[in-house]
Structure 1
Amino acid sequence: MTLLWIITALWAVSFSLIGVYISGQVDDTIAVTTRMFLALLIFLPFWRPAPWRKSLRMMATGAVEIGLTYLFLYQSYHYLSVPELLLFTIFTPLYVSLFSDLLARRWPRQFWAPALLAVAGAAVIRWTDLSGDYWIGFAFIQAANACFAFGQVWYRQQSMGNPLPHRARFAWFFLGAFIIAGSAMLLTADWSKLPATPVQQGVLLWLGVVTSGLGYLGWSYGSTKVSAQQLAVMNNMLIPAGILVNVLFWGGHIEQWPRLLLGCACLAAALWLCRKRTPAPSRST
């Protein structure tokens, strides 16, 4: 659990780094592909061959948990502020519980009430400023949450009986992430938005080597040492940490605190309702 706390603090800083120095200045797909390439370079020396089915599963896990997650995440920065983006990651534990149940072949029930309550909480936060752009951003961050949650649960499941050490798995893991991000870059990149300044290049170097490479290795390894329920809880610890970092160090501003608190209450109630009515995931996930 200690390792998960360390990675949470690391990622809390990274959200603001992306919002301040990368989003809108460097093309999203170029930024994501650069991060995946740098992380892949770290683990290539540890690469080991594996049966083709296991190799494809590890690559697919990386493609979903990191590649697709980051592609959706970077898009959401165009529509949401950093505090809003962090706030809406509160749904990730719902997805962790959902996918844990589905992969354990337990059909989750009564998810409609929490989902509606969660959407209501999102509406309360910006009720006077709801727009198509706002909901597009909300949809992007939910897609990122779902991909990240599915990848975590799937990685935990694959870790059972896998003789490869984590550092060797992550060579395959980031290869899959690099392929999906690189494909998106080749198809859609705006090549006029390259990381041109030393600050942008330094931030991407940090995000690729430390946040993505070492951070995801630590998180994925830590996720295998805790229960699925503990993992779901830790996914939400990033929210207060990230908002605090953004407000204290990057001048983030929260308007309408009462509305924000009411929206948070609705989101928290959705999370509590889902956990109350959903059987606790077993350790076999």
Structure 2
Amino acid sequence: MWYLLAVSILWGFSFGLVKSEFSDLSGATLACTRLLIALPCFIPFLKRPYLRWTQPNIRLIFTGAVQYGLMYVALFNAFTWLTGYEVALLTIFTPLYVVLAHAVVKRQLPPGWFWWTSILAVMGALWIFQPQAIPAKWPGILLMQLANLCFASGQIAWRQIRAKQPTARDTDGYALLYLGGVLAALPFALLQNPVHELAQLSGSQWGALLYLGAIASGLGFFLWNAGAARVNPATLAVFNNLKIPVAILISINLFREQANLASLLPGLAILLIALGWAEWASRRQATKSS
């Protein structure tokens, strides 16, 4: 759980950087470049068994392609139809997709508290946003749901991979996930003339991009999945929305952005209740099973 909390804080810094430094850079180029920077950070940890073309290794590449590559492509293309606020709002349904993906993988209905805690997490995020009605921009809305589903499915897929390889370390084959992400995002980036776009970046922008690639996307995605494999699916589902108020609090204090504390604090409280419920129910279930 502490991994997930640490990444929530880490990503809180990233949101402000993307907004302030890369408003003119196409989303596909930004996504692919971040993944390209993250990939070599994990190549030194790649063990020999992961250099072979085997089914488990293909599964790792495919997981990265879905969770990172396709998720980024869908997310950034949604900005064509949606505002930044609408994109952020439409990410709040990810907890439901986490529970749904878990149910599909296990081929059985999860306990009711899985659903109730994820619904409570959605309600907490809705309280924070206090949303107005979103116009029926269906291409953008559908792309955001695709992005949510890709990210949620990747988390559950990684949990399954780790469960089948209990003696392996998280870092052993993790470079393959970033390879999959690059392979999925690269074709979309090539449509945007990425060389020209990247040539226009200043030194400070390159510094920020290196941080986003190596730390936010590299270390952040890795620690998030490492945490995902160490908590129950309901706790994981809640954390997918708990990172929202954490990012807002950092933006308020570090980037001097404005936020409605009257909606932020009650929403955060609802999310913490959902988290506490998920942890309590998980431990109660474990006690009954032992």
The TM-score range, normalised by the shorter chain, is 0.7 to 0.9
TM-fit CA distance, 1:248 = 3.7
Are the structure 2 counterparts of residues 187 and 85 from structure 1 closer, same or farther at C-alpha, using a change threshold of 3 Å? closer
Please name the residue that 1:168 is paired with: 172
Is contact 2:29-2:192 (8 Å) kept? no
TM-fit CA distance, 1:159 = 0.9
TM-fit CA distance, 1:90 = 2.0
C-alpha distance in structure 2 between counterparts of 1:158 and 1:58, whole Å: 8
Q: Secondary structure at the match of 2:197?
A: coil
TM-score by length of 2: 0.76
Give 1:13's aligned amino acid: F
- The equivalent position to 1:187 in structure 2, one of 191, 196, 199, is 191
Instruction: Give runs of aligned pairs for residues 155-234 of structure 1, distance below 5 A.
Output: 155-162=158-165, 163-189=167-193, 192-194=196-198, 196-234=201-239
Instruction: Give runs of aligned pairs for residues 13-32 of structure 1, distance below 5 A.
Output: 13-23=13-23, 25-32=24-31
Is contact 1:27-1:191 (8 Å) kept? no
Are the structure 2 counterparts of residues 89 and 131 from structure 1 closer, same or farther at C-alpha, using a change threshold of 3 Å? closer
Q: Say how many residue pairs are matched.
A: 261
Q: Secondary structure at the match of 2:38?
A: helix
C-alpha distance in structure 2 between counterparts of 1:137 and 1:19, whole Å: 19
- The equivalent position to 1:89 in structure 2, one of 77, 83, 91, is 91
C-alpha distance in structure 1 between counterparts of 2:10 and 2:52, whole Å: 31
Give 2:147's aligned amino acid: A
- The equivalent position to 1:125 in structure 2, one of 125, 131, 139, is 131
Please name the residue that 2:33 is paired with: 34
Is contact 1:69-1:144 (8 Å) kept? yes
Could you tell me the percent identity over the aligned residues?
31
C-alpha distance in structure 2 between counterparts of 1:105 and 1:189, whole Å: 43
C-alpha distance in structure 1 between counterparts of 2:56 and 2:156, whole Å: 16
C-alpha distance in structure 1 between counterparts of 2:235 and 2:57, whole Å: 28
C-alpha distance in structure 1 between counterparts of 2:55 and 2:177, whole Å: 13
What are the ranges of 5 or more consecutive residues in structure 2 without an aligned counterpart? none
Q: Which deviates more, 3-12 or 137-146? A: 137-146
Is contact 1:86-1:242 (8 Å) kept? no
Is contact 2:99-2:234 (8 Å) kept? yes
Instruction: Tell whether 2:2 aligns with 1:2.
Output: yes
Q: Which deviates more, 243-252 or 212-221? A: 243-252
C-alpha distance in structure 1 between counterparts of 2:103 and 2:253, whole Å: 38
Is contact 2:26-2:192 (8 Å) kept? no
TM-score by length of 1: 0.77
TM-fit CA distance, 1:131 = 3.5
What are the ranges of 5 or more consecutive residues in structure 1 without an aligned counterpart? none
C-alpha distance in structure 2 between counterparts of 1:186 and 1:14, whole Å: 24
Are the structure 2 counterparts of residues 152 and 164 from structure 1 closer, same or farther at C-alpha, using a change threshold of 3 Å? same
Are the structure 2 counterparts of residues 253 and 138 from structure 1 closer, same or farther at C-alpha, using a change threshold of 3 Å? farther
Is contact 1:80-1:137 (8 Å) kept? no
C-alpha distance in structure 2 between counterparts of 1:228 and 1:50, whole Å: 31
Q: Secondary structure at the match of 1:169?
A: coil
Please name the residue that 1:246 is paired with: 251
Could you list the per-position Cα deviations for residues 152-185 of structure 1 after superposition, in whole angstroms to 9, with x for gaps in the alignment? 0000001123254221221111111111111221
Is contact 2:248-2:259 (8 Å) kept? no
